[in-house]
Amino acid sequence: MLETALIALTTFFATVGPIDVAAIFAGLTPGASAAERRAMAVKATLIAFLVLMVFALFGTEALRHLGITLPALKTAGGILLLLIAIDMVFARHSGGTSTTPDESREAKAKGDISVFPLATPLIAGPGTMGAVVLLMAEAEGNLLAELVVMGALTAILLLTFLLLLAATMVQKYLGVTALNVITRVVGILLAALAVQFIFDGIGASGLLRGLDP
């Protein structure tokens, strides 16, 4: 269970990116009062939690109805996470874990950014949605492992909420360089996990057995 918890925590920390989310939140709400920021942080975290829990509880079943197997999910999820990890290592921003330039411009024109872009795609983005479905599918049949994955997700969302409350301080004291260092370290770990997911998916698919002489 410890291994499951560590993998889930690392994956969710990388795909949600609590520190990056807090920094972006501070940049998008320069004119908001402390009370307004707090209200947006609460609303966004709750919405993201509900969205991700729906994916956690029903995502695997939905994929099963679509005829998508666990090996295929592991391989596809691994590729998605690997692309995100590559962007993290090179300190690039993509639509997988952050807003696109067009989304950022739209957000700056809004007074309340709690639903968009804060709840989604910043907190509950495509990378996190894919990760939660992948990890829950891998833990399927083991109630304790499933609870560990959901507990890890809840812990990362709680951390994200706390950092949102201290967003200005996070941005001021860490700065761009420190944020990029943290992002790169987590990105390397995520890349290794992603490659392992790809290996496991291909191995479980039976494709390699078909290539044996």
185 contacts 90 by C-beta, under 8 angstroms:
no
Total domains present in the chain = 1
Q: Does residue 210 lie within any of the structural domains?
A: no
The domain of 19 spans: 2-205
Q: Does residue 134 lie within any of the structural domains?
A: yes
Read off the pLDDT of residues 54-66 as tens digits, 9 standing for 90 and up. 999 999 888 888 8
In three-state form (DSSP H/G/I as H, E/B as E, the rest C), the secondary structure along 102-157 is HHHHHHHCCCCCHHHHHHHHHHCCHHHHHHHHHHHHHCCCCHHHHHHHHHHHHHHH
Q: CA 113, CA 32: separation in Å to the nearest integer?
A: 11
Q: Does residue 19 lie within any of the structural domains?
A: yes
Read off the pLDDT of residues 25-77 as tens digits, 9 standing for 90 and up. 887 887 788 889 999 999 999 999 999 999 999 998 888 888 888 888 888 88
Q: Does residue 109 lie within any of the structural domains?
A: yes
